[in-house]
Amino acid sequence: MGPVFQTGGTSRSRAGRPTLYERDFFLWTRQQAQLLRERSADASGLDTTRLAAEIEDLGSSQQSEIENRLCVLLAHLLKWQFQPSKRSNSWRATIAEQRMRIARRLRQSPSLRSYPAEVLEEEYALARLNAVAETNMALETFPLSCPFGIDDILDPDFFPGVD
């Protein structure tokens, strides 16, 4: 990647194309942390070890956001499917919001596109427990494995049990 300079508050490469920072923040954090580590022998006074870790933490926060939103989304999809008489606009709004925010994060960091599928079963296990706590239904009511595919989960038009 070529040199970067500031123009109008946004950084762009000299060719005018968006920088990696603008295209994929998560990937940028990983790259910057690696570059800092490679320069750690440099006596510039930078605490490169901690800086690299902090930059990686910035990227990890994006993963955490996806995990949290996926868990909330899954719990609401379970409630939607297993408590049809209690479906509400509030549940529908929560489902829609989680999907939109996950989609936005994935647009901001395309290298995380596969991440929701990677953490699906782990987040489903938590969502299942949350659904039990919120519905007072027995744990066995909800399938042990996620009954929804990741494409359906993220599909704005998918609501289980609705034709």
SS3 72: helix
Domains of the chain by range and CATH? 4-154 (1.20.1220.20)
Token pair for 2: 């070529």
Q: Kindly report whether the global pTM for this prediction surpasses the value 0.75.
A: yes
Q: Which of 57, 64, 92 has the alpha carbon at shortest distance from 76? A: 92
One-letter amino acid of 100: M
Q: Measure CA 108 to chain center.
A: 10
Residues in the chain: 163
Sequence-ordered alpha helix ranges (H) in 39-88: 48-82
Token pair for 72: 């909330």
Mean pLDDT, each 10-residue run in order, the chain (163 residues): 36 73 86 78 64 84 97 99 97 99 96 98 99 98 98 98 73
Query: Residue 99 CB: number of other CB atoms within 10 A?
Result: 19
